[in-house]
Chains A and B, each alone.
Chain A
Amino acid sequence: MKKIYAFESRCLGCRLCEVYCRTARFKSKDVVKAHKRKNITSAIIVEEVLGPNNISYFALQCRHCKNPKCIKACISGAMYKNDKGIVRNDSEKCVGCLSCILVCPFGVIKKNDDGKSVSKCDLCADFGEPFCVENCPNEAIKFLNEGEARALK
């Protein structure tokens, strides 16, 4: 399956992906309005790597593990894997217990501000290509199959 892969040498650390991730989660898909909405949580995380002389960056989001620990830990059945292999969270069922956050080895599930559910990357499955990838100004994140990603690494 296709996933989002980050290319650290290309990442500017601009965090536009976070803005567009929030936009993807906002009904009207209006980037300005979504950016102002503090209660929409981004499901992509930009991290800094401190080198001896420089700072580099990478973006990280759900890896859609083959055998996800988050699903095993989920107490409500909100977390599930769909038939395409995408790990999704049903916010109607989620009670915000954060058991998924307790076990996610990548630390890429976030608590929503309402405290009643969590936010995680669903690869923008409901409307085409991931927004973060489409809007990255420097091709630092790409939507690829594993083989394609390995070839580029």
Chain B
Amino acid sequence: MKKYLIIGNGAAGVNAAVAIRANDKTSSIKIISDEEFNFYGRPLISYYLSGQVKPENIYYRNEEFYKSKNIKVLLDTKAKKIDTVKKEVLTSLGERISYDKLLIATGSSPFIPLIKNLDFNRQKNVFTFLTYKDSIRLKEKITGNSKVVIAGAGLVGLKASEGLFGQVASITVVDLADRVMASVLDKSEADIIQEHIEQKFINFKLQMSICEVQGKSSVSEVTLSNGETFDCDILVVAVGVRPNVVLAKEAGINTLRGIVVDEYMQTSIKDVYAAGDCVESLDLFSSENNRVFALWPNASNQGEIAGFNMTGAKIKAPKIFAMNSISFFGLQLISAGVISDSRSSGVFVDSTKNKLHKLNIFNDNLIGFVLINDNQRAGIYTSLINDKTNLSALAYDITSKDIGFNVYSAEERTKKIFDCNGGY
């Protein structure tokens, strides 16, 4: 009987545990989590903030799920040190847990930029927005009079603004870039999103950063890089995340920006695997550079593959490309792959008010797309990217009409219907 140990109770960790149990009915599986809650849908924390998701629905699976799979979860327990020679993990409670196979799925942490006088330990009204706990604390603190400043107009900052909408006096979003969601969207698409959000009286201060805050035990005022100052009752810092690599690094495991893994999700040390936001993944669009992708589907997939491989399987992890599906006040954005115009030989934009449909085509391959309020059958585009399908071999020009499964030949359709394995 083997001992499987997983550090991290998020999408990667839990999917790994499920995969291990699917292949190994008897061994012990333990998950260590430094959070106090069972596995929850992390992206749901903004829905909790708005009230759309009730506390009982934030949990991804029910209690019965862990019991039925005989997965033991140690909550509120931090992994302090990994000893890869003795094959044990030291926890914050002083316990030493031994393992035969270990998975590091430690996720990522909010990046805190240098802001003069900002002190998370002292100031009680400054928040990050990554965990359920963050969202609970923020929800408790806000009042109808709160003037909220959000640093970061990326996905997390914008979702936080949506979650707070209607519950506070004002919301101002500050970002260094010239547009919202700068890492995902070009200016033309970003402008559609921004204008839609601005209709809800959320203010944007772009191409600016917060360089200073005032206040000792709480922040009362922020100063922007252009010298402008304004009142602030709540400051949310959401400028991005960094992979949690320290634990792995201190154990002598190879790390660069993220933990380095091979195509089977194994780290530089035998029997130690890593998956999810904490690792560097192979990028579908770059053979040299690995990238850190903080994406839910990626974490789930890598976790599952790592889990299978920990039980002795040999499954290669697929190469990754960016993908997002997200809505802001009813405006739906779905995007995948490479968006930037610079790499494409053909960009097809069909935009009417609040609707956009952009396909990024390069060398007979679809390499990316952006759909705003036009979501039907987006997954077929995603498949064309993933499979690197030659567009000239398809039944019609994908820029000529709405995509359907009829884009494939009858033979190909039959094959796909009988082969439907899903992932990898």
In residues 10-56 of chain B, which contact A (Cβ within 8 Å)? 15, 41-44, 47, 52-53
Given the contacts A63-B420, A69-B297, A72-B297, A106 and B405 also touching, CB distance less than 8 Å: yes
Interface residues on B, range: 35 or more
Encode B101-134 as 1/0 by CB contact (under 8 A) with A: 0000000000000000000000000000000000
Asked if B296 is at the interface (CB within 8 A of a chain A CB), the reply is: yes
What 8 A-B pairs have minimum CB-CB distances, sorted nearest first? A107-B377, A65-B422, A77-B60, A104-B379, A67-B422, A63-B420, A72-B300, A73-B297
Complex A-B: 10 CB contacts under 8 Å:
A47-B405, A63-B417, A65-B421, A72-B301, A73-B297, A95-B44, A101-B375, A105-B416, A111-B332, A115-B332
Given A47-B404, A67-B424, A110-B376, verify A95-B47 contact (CB < 8 Å): yes
A105 touching B15 by the CB < 8 A rule?
A: no
**Residues A103 and B380 in contact, CB atoms below 8 Å apart:** no
Contact with B along A86-114 (1 / 0, CB 8 A): 00000011011111111111111111000
**In the assembled complex, A58 has its CB within 8 A of some CB on chain B:** yes
Is the CB of A146 closer than 8 A to any CB of chain B?
A: yes
Contact B417 A107 (CB under 8 A): no
**A75 close to B296 (CB less than 8 A):** yes
Does A13 make an interface contact (CB < 8 A)? no
| A50 cross-chain contacts in B, Cβ below 8 A | 396
Distance A102 CA – B422 CA, assembled complex (angstroms)? 13
- Inter-chain contact A101/B300, CB cutoff 8 Å: no
A153 touches B423 (CB 8 A): no
In this assembly, does B289 line the interface, its C-beta being within 8 Å of a C-beta of chain A? no
Bound together, the chains give a CA A115 to CA B329 distance in angstroms of: 11
Question: Does A48 touch B at the CB level, under 8 Å?
Answer: yes
Q: Considering the complex, give the chain A residue whose CB is closest to the CB of B330.
A: A115
Proximity bits, A47-60, B CB within 8 Å = 1, else 0: 11110000000101
Interface: B149 (CB within 8 A): no
B176 to nearest A CB, angstroms?
27
Residues on B with C-beta less than 8 A from A63 are: 417, 420
- With a cutoff of 8 Å between Cβ atoms, the chain A residues found around residue B332 in the complex are 98, 111, 115
- Is A8 positioned at the interface, with any CB of B under 8 Å from its CB? yes
Q: How many A-B residue pairs have CB under 8 A?
A: 132
Min CB distance, B46 to chain A, in Å? 10
CA of A109 to CA of B424, assembled, Å: 20
Spell out B's residues near A (CB within 8 Å): 15, 41-44, 47, 52-53, 57, 59-61, 296-297, 300-301, 304, 323-327, 330, 332, 334, 336, 375-380, 382-383, 395-396, 403-406, 410, 413-414, 416-418, 420-424
Contact assessment for B416 and A106 in the assembled complex, using a CB-CB cutoff below 8 Å: yes
Q: Contacts A67-B422, A97-B43, A98-B375 given: A103-B323 contact, CB under 8 Å?
A: yes
Give the bracket for the number of chain A residues in contact with chain B: 35 or more
Measured CB to CB, the residues of A under 8 A from B are 5, 8, 45, 47-50, 58, 60, 63-69, 72-73, 75-77, 92-93, 95-111, 115, 146, 149-150, 153
Task: Select which of B323, B403, B413 is within 8 A of A107 by beta carbon.
Answer: B403
The reply to whether A101 and B378 contact each other, CB–CB distance below 8 Å, is yes
Question: Do residues B297 and A99 form an inter-chain contact, with CB atoms below 8 A?
Answer: yes
Q: Give the Cβ gap from B356 to chain A, nearest Cβ, in Å.
A: 15
Assuming the contacts A102-B336, A106-B379, A106-B380, asked whether A153 and B414 have C-beta atoms less than 8 A apart, the reply is yes
Chain A, Cβ-Cβ closest to B383: A105
Which one of A5, A69, A107, A150 lies within 8 Å of B422 (CB-CB)?
A69
Among A60, A96, A102, A108, the most chain B Cβ lie within 10 Å of the Cβ of: A102
Contact of A92 among B57, B378, B382, B423 (CB under 8 A): B57
A47 contacts B323, C-beta separation under 8 Å: no
| Contact of A76 with B405 at beta-carbon distance under 8 Å, contacts A98-B325, A105-B383 already known | no
A68: contacting residue among B59, B334, B422, CB under 8 A: B422
Which has the most chain B C-beta neighbours within 10 Å: A48, A106, A109, A110? Answer: A106
Question: What residues of chain B lie closer than 8 Å to A111, measured between beta carbons?
Answer: 332, 375-376
A136 to chain B, nearest CB (A): 17
Query: What residues of chain B lie closer than 8 Å to A49, measured between beta carbons?
Result: 395, 406, 410
Cβ contact of B334, chosen from A48, A95, A98, A109, cutoff 8 A: A98
